[in-house]
Each structure stands twice: as C-alpha cells, then as structure tokens.
Structure 1
C-alpha cells in the first residue's frame, strides 16, 4: 500500500515536526518524541501536569490534545508501539513542577509498563506522580475482567476531564481521582470495515471479506472479538450501543456525553450518519445526551471504521467537560439541542384545479413510464460509465428520476404542456448533479412551446427548443462529448422523419441518439467532470449521452 512518507523509520519524528510547525503553542523536545506546551510557566508555579501518549498512528491523538485545559505533554512511540521509559521520563521532567503530574495511560501492557516505570523513576527524583489507567473497551466484557480491558477512544474524554481539573488548580490527588472516576463511567466499542497498514509492514494487518466487519476491535489494527456480516449502519450502531448501555447500567434519565470517533478511513459523511443514529438510539432509551462530538479523535492509521463512546455525567463532570480548553484537535463545546431542528418548507403556490385528461394522456403516461423502466434497468450500466469518467452518480440519479416519474399523479398527464411541466418539476428535485437542471430546463422550454393539442410539427419544434436550452444552460455543443451529442442528432432526425408519422420520427430519433452516444467513445471531453481526465476518458461513451439514447429508444418502442 502506498503511503505519503519518506523513511518508515522516521515517520514519527517527521509527523511531530509537522504538528509543531503548524501549531506555535507546541514545542518538541530535542532528543525525544515528546510534544510539550510551549507556554509553560517556570516549574515552581506550574499546576499539576497532565501527560498521556502511546504509539503513533492514532493521530490526532496524542499531540493534538496538548494545550491549555487539556494535556501538558504527549509522549509518542513508534507506530502502535509504546514510547520508551526514557521518553516518558523526559516528558515528565519537561512538563511537571512541584505540583506533580498525572499520567493517563491506555490499558495496554507496553504502555502500563513504560509509563509505570517512568512514574517510579520520577518519584525517586522527587516529582509526585499519579498513574490513571483507562480501560473503556466494553467489547471485552465477556472475555477478560474489567481491569484488563483495553483503553481506546474514550480516553480523549478523560483527557478533557483531568485537564480541566488541573487547569483549575486542583491538587494532584484530586485530579487523579476525577480522572479515575471518569474512566470508570466510560464505555467504548468499535466496528471496522477493513484493516490498516503499518508503514513498516507495508501490507494490511488482516484480510476481511467484502461483506464482513470486525466488531469490538482495539486501536492497533488488530482484529475484533467477533467477525460478522456487514449490515446497515443503524443496525451496527444499535449493536455497539446495546453493549455499552448494558455494560454501564445506563438507565432512563441518565445524563451522558457521546463521542463518535472515526478510526482514520471513515469520511465525515458516514460519521455523521453514525452520530445521527447514536443520538436517536440513546434518546429512545430515555438517556439524555448533554454533549456530543463526531470526528476523528483517536485513529488507527487509515482503518475504515468507527467507535462509539458514552460517558456517564454528573454536574461536576459536565462542568469539567464545559471548561475552557484549547488544543489543535479539541473540537469545542459539544453542545447540542435536545432534538433536531427541522424548519417547515416555504408554502407552495396553490395547486391548480384538476384538468380532465385529454386525448394525449394515455400515450404521454405510457411513454414516460416506459422511459422510466428503461432507465431503472440501465442503472448499473450508467453507474459504470459515469464511474469511468465522472463521479459515478448517474445511475442512481436516473433511478431516482424514474421513481419520481412513476409517482406523478394521474392529473399530471392531462395534456402535453402540463405533463412536461410536471416532469420538469419532479426531475428537478429528483435528479442529482447537472442532470436535474438540464432535464428540467429542456422540459420547461418544450412545454412553453407546445399548445394544448399539438400537431406533429409542434412536437418537432418543442424538441429542438428543448435541445437548444440544454446547450444554452451548459455551454455544450456537438462534439464536446456530452448529452448534446445524442440529443442534437436525435432532434434533427425527428424533424426529418416527421412526414412519415410520429412513430417513425421517434424511431429515427432513437437511432440517431444511439449513434451519437456511440460516437462520444472517440471524443476528447471538453466540458463536465470528464474534461478533467482529458484523453484518459477516450474509449468510453459519455454516460449522459447513453442515458438519452436509452430513454429515447424506450419512448419509440412504447
């Protein structure tokens, strides 16, 4: 797997150098991979220092949480490897004064050993040190005792609680006690859709099927406690939350904080969908979500997946979460509304009175539904074509358009102008991207040029005006490798064959559209997303032109 790195042995140092370059409030120790607040007062006047850390690969943790109201220093080891005792000790010396230091450690053997020994050495030097271990992974509830569970993403909330207490001037024992209490009221569980790749290894940590997920995993690229089928995200979130709620004994009326954490390879779109369901599922149980965050807080390199953390709150813990904090990765207050705000749409113009169906109504409906059926059947083909030269949404967009046409009421087909206007309105809303405006504009232009009882020549004129409107709106002309390359010859062929009758004209238009769409295979695109590919798009027909040929053929055959 390709990585944007230089030497795999230098990724940690170079990463920390970049973090500190970008954030003037951070400083990097010269001889250790330790990030420290750059604005620390002299040791004698420092409050309790708060340190955390672990292996790299969890960015933005842990250096991203160094700042006022959060960590005083972060100690970073190699990727997924605990930092050395000497590095932790150097961090304690750099950050702590007589008030001492609290070390927040995730419950992995290497971290506990190295941070624990460093704490002993610091105490021997006269620096008071407390160690707080976070073990929030509820997926291990049936596997190991509570004290042996892993520490995972919920640790970030413990950083915030302890950091606020330290910034408020609380003594060492109190800061440690508050951190331990917070860790004890915290549960996290994750799901991964795939593996990640450690730079030094150069290959994924495990193999997983296309329709499988790993449930209950840690943060080091390992497999979960269970492999299961991939399901809709709501079902996966419900599974995670059911375990967290049961393990934590969360009951109706309980106040909590929610953290939705991406594992590194999950886009914000999917994290927001997870957060949506997590909030809803907790509220369905009567649990009050006082604060919530969604983002990448503690990752596992580029692993696709998510973890959900829930922390039980009381008034004191909520106040500590709300206390001022500033660090590169801290997302802010997390304040949310008790329910989603939904604004009513602006009132629509009054509906026109129903018009009795005219003589064209059955044919108009039959033709539109035939076109819809053809586009539905071609979804996969259009998606494939658009994926090769665009963004891949044409198939699903045309499918939504087809469904919208099917949903039009009977009155929509009363006469040709009304039918075209109704189709324009529904396609404008249903079709994504550029397709919606193009089809809606063409249909509206055609509707305005048609009388209630059109003659054959009226249809030819309407077709030509519709095609012209698409060119005017998008700036395309024949030869640019767009839907115009199917529409333009189709309109010309329709007009030329009209003396033979409407049926013959439609068949001629369909043939011309198919030939025009095929001709785009050898064209270099000059407009649209495909133009960004240039000559690389040659060899594949334009998806928009193919869609035109598909619905015109269906119309002709209907």
Structure 2
C-alpha cells in the first residue's frame, strides 16, 4: 500500500486540519473531529436552523467540503468508513444550534443511524429541537431490500444543498426538514466500481477484480457491489445505470430532473465527462428535462475507480434551493447547462488552386506510396506504443494510426500533383495527430511542398525538399542530432540520400543507403540521454530503449523503398 499519510491513526485529524487551513469560512471544534462554520453567532438566539451531516471519513470532499453558508453548519467525521461517535455528533449540535433547532442529514447505515439518532435524542433532552432525515437513495438494492433499508450514497450531497438553502432563507425547522425529506424521497442513485480501494488501517484492497470485470451497484465503503459483471464500454454502462434509476424512480418523458455524475475518488474528469455526455444524451432522447447537471467527485470512496449517477426530480422551488448561493468550498458552479450540445461550425480552409490530374501515372504511384506509409504506421502501432510508453506518454502509435486513417480519407483531388499531395498530407497530419508529431510532420511536409513548387521535381529536387523538411523540424522543435529525437533518424537519412545522388547512385540505391542511415541513427538513440521533450525528464532511465519518434521515421522511410525502386 502506498499512501501519502504519516500514520493511519492520524489520518482523519490531519486531513481536517488541512481542509480547515484552506477554508477561511470554516473552523475546527476543539477536541472533536468536527468542522463548523466560522461565522456561527455567539448569541444562540440569532442562529438559524442548523443543518448537520457527517459519517465515516474517506468520502471527501464530503462532508467537510460542504460546510459553509447556504449549506451545512457542521460536519462530523468518524474514522475512515466508520461512523462518528454519539458524543462527537452531540458536541457539533451544541456548537452550531440554538432555539431554532437542528436538522441531521444521515446516510442510511446502521452506525450512522444509531449515533446520529441517539445524539438527536440527547439534544432534544437538552432543549434543542432536533430532527433527523435519512437518505436511502441507492436503487441498486431495489431487488434486495425494502426501500427504507437502502443505502445512502452520493445523492446525499443534494439533500445537503436543499436543506442548507432552506435554512439560509429563514425557514423553520419543520420546513427545512420537510424540504430535506422530500428531496431524499425524490432521489435515485446507482454506482459502479472498476476496482477496490484501500483503507489506510487495513493496508490492502477490500476485494479484487479481474481485468475484464467490474462491480455493479456498490456503495461508498469499499464494499463489493450487488453483482459482478463483465467490463462494459462507458455508453453501455450509463445505459444500464440510467435504466435502473429511471424505472425505480418512475421518471419519464416530461419530467424535470437534476443530474449528478459522481466520481468515487479514482476516476479522472476525462472519464466522468464521457459518462456525463452519454447520460445527458440518453435523458434527452427519453424526453426527460435535465434542468441542472454537475460532474465531479462529490462523495467518494477513497481512491476507488468508478462512478455513480444520481437523478433528482425537481420543481421550481427545489431548483431555487439548488441555485441558492453557498460558500461551501466543495460545491461546484450552478449546474446550468445548454438545452443541447453546442457545435460551432469551422471556417472552411481555402481551396487549393491548380488543375487536377489524378490519372497521371506518376501521381497514381505517388498515392500508392503514401498509402504504403499508412499501412506501415498501422502495422507498427503496437511497437511504437510500447516504445513511447517507455520514455513518453504512450500515444505515438495511436496518433500515427489516426494519421494513417486521415491520409486514406483524403479526396482524390489531393493527388493531382506532388505539391498538392504533400500539402494535403501535411494538413491531414496536423489535424489528426496530437502531441508533437502532428506539428512536426505537418511543418516538414508543408516546407517540402513549397520547395518542390518553386522549380524542378527530379530526384535531386526531392532530396533538397527532404532536407528542407528536416530543417523545418529542427527549427520548429529546436533539436539537433544527438538530442534523442526523430532528427537522429531523419537528418542522417536526408544527408545520405542527397550525398548518394550527388555521387551518381540511382534513386533506388540512394534510398537504400538513406534507410540504412536512418536505422543506424534510430539505433544510436538507445545510447543517448534525452535532452528535449517528455523523455528528458527521465534522464538516464531512458537509456537502452530507442526513441519512438526516430523509430517511427524509419517505419515510413522503409515503407517507401519499394515505390522508389
């Protein structure tokens, strides 16, 4: 287990100290694992209805992240995945509540219900009006337990928001409790886990999953789901989750909802955005009106990879509570979305001039040579991915495969002349290949095209265009031979081709020597310490593996041998 902690027993206290240090609107309750608002009036008669929540730690940013005006007045933290004590909850109630009373928002777990429930009884005995609202939004358990015994999961955050906003408006305890209970009853949530999390005190994952498996319908405490199923693509998974929520909550065409896409702690924003994209599309296809939507990590399970989807029925009043201002540090923006995905049309590129003569035999051979490069890039994708993963970000193989697809998709008009073809290929590389390879290849091809357009197009002119393209790469990236880049293959290849032609060799012989020089240059990179690019961060750790960009250059140079012969 690798975690950035000092000691398992100190995790919760040190975490709360860090969170409060970053949030000027918050304070720690002395001697307790409780975060409270820093602006609680000393005069208890000036206090509004206090909204409290909490539970085991490990769900960050819940619950402390939602302490702020317009949301929670206090959050009570237990040990990781363990309910806080009754005394801690009671101390929190005393610290923030007054005659207006307190509302406890409790997730439906036995420990939380017992400790928060007992604390409520003790608070009432002390004269503090206290109500409890239980959140049980996990629809995955619909065929397992009665509705009132379902778990409380990510939808709890929306109950926090509604209750806090109602309290800030000056509503009474009965009104705040009624708004919170109605919100809890209108929620449906379902989650999926792609792997387990590790509780610091345990030191090992709670369960294991195969590479092709996932847990469907899991809670927020590192436990297994309702059932283990084969791994699904994101869209299919969203369809499964939404189908269950929509059926259970009886949401259909014309209904108004808020959508919460929640990461469980180990899911990057990229994947959550893909989930949100599909969820919005499905809901719109079904005629469900998505009034608000949020995507992010709101209630997590340590570092568990996975997500949950929550749907909340809304009306105008509930939307006002969701839209109301809050200083809670973890609450996101207002959640307003466009009625449909906006797509701005791209300004068309200027059309190339010149006559189109695709049928010319030389251009037929030119196109065949270009398609041979595409074949070579696709065949080399696994190897280039492996090499780039060793010293880069691992995307070179798939990037060049995208370039190959773009090359094949060029219209026939692109193949009317070498200049037009090189320009079209360069633009296609620019648009389809991400990272540094796209700009490098595009710059080289565009420079070579301009060079050929200026005069003759014999073998010597092609050698000069090759040199011009390589020089363009050097100018753009600032690299030189010996820096462990594609130039370590391209520069000796271009120099050798020009030299051999000048020495009287045939184009085929010169190209054979050119490819050999490129192969030797790429091989030499295994002994070079990188000085540019992402590989430079590895220093000597990159030694022993050839540079992926240099190897890619060899791939396309080699693929042209038959065409030139």
TM-score of the two chains, using structure 1 as the length reference: 0.98
Where 1:519 maps in the other structure, the secondary structure is helix
Aligned to 2:390: 388
Q: For the residues of structure 2 that align with 1:353 and 1:555, how far apart are their CA atoms?
A: 26
Q: By how many angstroms is 1:353 displaced?
A: 5.7
- Report 1:9-408 matches (<5 A): 9-41=9-41, 42-350=43-351, 352=353, 354-357=355-358, 358-408=360-410
Aligned to 2:543: 538
Conserved 8 A contact 1:36-1:73: yes
1:510 to 493, 499, 515: 515
> What do the CA deviations read for 1:98-154 (whole angstroms, capped 9, x no partner)?
111000000000000010011111111111110000000000000000000000000
Aligned to 1:550: 555
Q: For the residues of structure 2 that align with 1:177 and 1:428, how far apart are their CA atoms?
A: 58
RMSD of equivalent CA atoms: 1.1
> What do the CA deviations read for 1:167-207 (whole angstroms, capped 9, x no partner)?
11111111111111100000000111111110011111100
Q: For the residues of structure 1 that align with 2:352 and 2:178, how far apart are their CA atoms?
A: 66
> What do the CA deviations read for 1:272-299 (whole angstroms, capped 9, x no partner)?
1111111111111100000111111000
Q: By how many angstroms is 1:347 displaced?
A: 3.1
Aligned to 2:467: 464
Q: Which moved more, 1:62-71 or 1:311-320?
A: 311-320
Q: For the residues of structure 2 that align with 1:244 and 1:391, how far apart are their CA atoms?
A: 38
Where 2:159 maps in the other structure, the secondary structure is helix
Q: By how many angstroms is 1:453 displaced?
A: 5.9
Q: For the residues of structure 1 that align with 2:432 and 2:336, how far apart are their CA atoms?
A: 34
Q: For the residues of structure 1 that align with 2:64 and 2:393, how far apart are their CA atoms?
A: 36
Conserved 8 A contact 1:360-1:414: no
Where 1:524 maps in the other structure, the secondary structure is coil
- Report 1:398-547 matches (<5 A): 398-451=400-453, 454-498=457-501, 499-547=504-552
Q: For the residues of structure 1 that align with 2:483 and 2:450, how far apart are their CA atoms?
A: 27
Conserved 8 A contact 2:97-2:128: yes
Q: For the residues of structure 2 that align with 1:58 and 1:477, how far apart are their CA atoms?
A: 50
Q: By how many angstroms is 1:525 displaced?
A: 0.6
Q: For the residues of structure 1 that align with 2:531 and 2:252, how far apart are their CA atoms?
A: 61
Structure 1 unaligned regions, length at least 5: none
Q: By how many angstroms is 1:545 displaced?
A: 0.1
Where 2:257 maps in the other structure, the secondary structure is strand
Q: By how many angstroms is 1:344 displaced?
A: 1.1
Q: For the residues of structure 2 that align with 1:469 and 1:145, how far apart are their CA atoms?
A: 69
1:7 paired to 2:12: no
Q: For the residues of structure 1 that align with 2:442 and 2:179, how far apart are their CA atoms?
A: 61
Q: By how many angstroms is 1:437 displaced?
A: 1.0
Superposed structure 1 runs of 4+ greater than 6 Å apart:
none
Q: For the residues of structure 2 that align with 1:375 and 1:338, how far apart are their CA atoms?
A: 41
Q: For the residues of structure 2 that align with 1:332 and 1:109, how far apart are their CA atoms?
A: 33
Q: For the residues of structure 2 that align with 1:154 and 1:456, how far apart are their CA atoms?
A: 69
Conserved 8 A contact 1:416-1:453: no
Q: By how many angstroms is 1:501 displaced?
A: 1.6
Conserved 8 A contact 2:221-2:301: yes
Q: For the residues of structure 2 that align with 1:409 and 1:502, how far apart are their CA atoms?
A: 29
Q: For the residues of structure 2 that align with 1:504 and 1:154, how far apart are their CA atoms?
A: 70
Q: For the residues of structure 1 that align with 2:522 and 2:131, how far apart are their CA atoms?
A: 72
Q: For the residues of structure 2 that align with 1:254 and 1:262, how far apart are their CA atoms?
A: 25
Q: Which moved more, 1:340-349 or 1:431-440?
A: 340-349
Q: For the residues of structure 1 that align with 2:512 and 2:239, how far apart are their CA atoms?
A: 53
Conserved 8 A contact 1:360-1:416: no
Conserved 8 A contact 2:260-2:310: yes
Q: By how many angstroms is 1:350 displaced?
A: 3.7
Q: Which moved more, 1:520-529 or 1:315-324?
A: 315-324
Closer, same or farther in 2 for the Cα pair 1:453/1:415, shift >3 Å?
A: farther
Q: For the residues of structure 2 that align with 1:461 and 1:307, how far apart are their CA atoms?
A: 58
> What do the CA deviations read for 1:418-455 (whole angstroms, capped 9, x no partner)?
11111111111111111111111111111111157611
Q: For the residues of structure 1 that align with 2:57 and 2:188, how far apart are their CA atoms?
A: 23
